[in-house]
Structure 1
Amino acid sequence: MKRYEGLEGILLIDDDLPTNFIHKKVIEKAAVNAAVKSITSVQEALDFITYSGIYEDTPQIPRPGLIFLDINMPGLDGWDFMDAYNRLDQRFKARLIIIMLSTSLDPEDKAMAMIDREVVTFLSKPLRPEIVTTILDRYFK
């Protein structure tokens, strides 16, 4: 298992449970030594990052250094997450890498994602172990 400095956890934000399951297995196959948390809603993800809501008294749970964020979700979507995330206090955003994921073929989605300075890249689903390793090698020591 490879350990990356500054990477205690990886957060998967996707409403599709099978996709989260597959992506968690992909991360395990990439042999990353980090806790992987799957969350299916934008609000819960924001609560997790900010230690609020059901995560208020959970400092022992590793918080993410890397987020894989789906764009298309019912209710609040990936764009809504980014709007809320951009308004968060800097202490919750420090050293967080956000990768947007989608099955969308619309070039507008990628263009919109890359306008946001907090999003480092836009990838098509599904993740593959070599993609995870490339991202980690690029953004973490």
Structure 2
Amino acid sequence: MLEQILCIDDDPIALLLSKKVIAKSGFSDEVITAQNGEEALSYFNSLKYNTTKPVKKPQLIFLDLNMPVMGGWEFLDHFTAADYDEFNSVSVIVLSSTINPEDLDKAKKYPIIIDFLSKPITIQMLEYLKSRIEL
């Protein structure tokens, strides 16, 4: 079981569903959410500059690609830059409502992306991911 997962998606229903499925499956102790890439980067900045207590960082990110403010690709460009080196052990699963072949090819350029799956998160999907991630 993972300690913490971050779900980044602009759809509140998708976030709620993700939290419920992850909790039901026992895949993670805690699910935190962000509604776009900018909100997620703010969260990582708060972890980065937190000096008051030990930092618990997400071990896995479920990332939507198409979001307002800052989409998934833009988030990845920032997140994989040197400013966020201390988080480079966090793996990313891209969750998208459409699986575009161009997006699949683009995802291969980011070493932190370990899979590209179709929405929504299901218990079967999490069982599959358990076999891919060391839990």
The runs of 5 or more residues in structure 2 that have no matched partner are: none
How far residue 30 of structure 1 moved from its aligned partner, in angstroms, is: 1.1
Choose 8-17 or 32-41, whichever is displaced more: 32-41
* Inter-partner Cα distance in structure 1 for 2:70 and 2:110: 17
1:137 alignment partner, SS class:
helix
Given the alignment of the two structures, is residue 119 of structure 1 paired with residue 113 of structure 2, yes or no?
yes
How far residue 51 of structure 1 moved from its aligned partner, in angstroms, is: 2.1
Note the alpha carbon deviations across 1:52-104, whole angstroms, 9 max, x for none.
69x8577567421010000000121000000001113421223x110011112
**Normalising by the residue count of structure 2, what TM-score does the alignment of the two structures yield?**
0.86
* Inter-partner Cα distance in structure 2 for 1:131 and 1:43: 27
Partner of 1:109: 103
Mapping for residues 42-61 of structure 1, pairs under 5 Å: 42-51=37-46, 56=50, 59=53
The count of aligned residue pairs is 134
1:135 alignment partner, SS class:
helix
The runs of 5 or more residues in structure 1 that have no matched partner are: none
Compared with structure 1, are the counterparts of its residues 139 and 58 closer, same or farther at alpha carbon in structure 2 (3 Å cutoff)? farther
1:8 alignment partner, SS class:
strand
Give RMSD over aligned pairs. Answer: 2.2
Partner of 2:63: 69
Partner of 2:88: 93
Q: Match for 1:17 among 9, 12, 16?
A: 12
Contact residue 51 and residue 57 of structure 1 kept, 8 A:
no
